[in-house]
Structure 1
Amino acid sequence: MKIEVTESASKWFQSEMGLGEGNGVRFYGKVYGKTPVHEGFSLALTRDDTPGETYAETKKDGITYFVDENDRWFFIGFDLKVDFVPDKDPENVVYTYTPNGELDK
């Protein structure tokens, strides 16, 4: 799995969550809601500056964005792109899931 955080999304995370060098954001699946790839589950995030065993991670502007190994089930088979689109209502943060052919082993 690959995680891509666009420049505009990185700036949004820094501004809205007060993030800087050495901080982290963990993406995970939660009950209720829906995504284009899961009915009954939605994507959530939390600030987490101390990743444990990660399934996937990327760094942007000194901030680590990651998925914990325990959340593999939610993301298996997809790459995640996180973007910020200021004129998009009602949600300005856009998550795009792209199939990557990976199978759960």
Structure 2
Amino acid sequence: MNIEITKPAMAWFKEEFGQGEELTPIRLFGRYGGCGNLQSGFSIGISQTEPVNPKAIQEEGGFRFFIEEQDMWYFNHHSVKIKYSRKNEEIEFEYEESATS
């Protein structure tokens, strides 16, 4: 399970969440509703909260992106790539089945 963030997506996070002297934590989690395409009826939520029991972590550009163990059900053995859509002016998520979970 990997988390990848493109440069345009990183710029979006810096604009939306700012950047301090320490790593800014960004949690990815499955939430009910929205327009997700991995689990029917669910989508990815993001929040700025400290990790408690992270299963996947990616530190990059002053941010700590992570997925808690309790949220792994949503990703169902898939890695996630966070992109920015200039057309829609929002972040988007792509998934790829992981060789290992």
- State the TM-score bracket (shorter-chain normalisation): 0.7 to 0.9
CA-to-aligned-CA distance 1:19-67 (integer Å, 9 cap, x gap):
344211000001123422111111100011x211111010111210010
- Which residue does 2:98 correspond to in 1? 100
Moved over 2 A (4+): none
Contact 1:33 1:39 in 2 (8 A): no
Q: Secondary structure at the match of 1:65?
A: strand
Return the TM-score normalized by structure 2.
0.88
**In structure 2, how many angstroms separate the alpha carbons of the residues matched to 1:34 and 1:99?**
19
RMSD value, Cα? 1.6
Return the TM-score normalized by structure 1.
0.85
1:56 is the counterpart of 2:56: yes
- Which residue does 1:37 correspond to in 2? 38
Calculate percent identity across the aligned residue pairs. 29
Paired residue total? 100
**In structure 2, how many angstroms separate the alpha carbons of the residues matched to 1:19 and 1:68?**
22
**In structure 1, how many angstroms separate the alpha carbons of the residues matched to 2:48 and 2:19?**
9
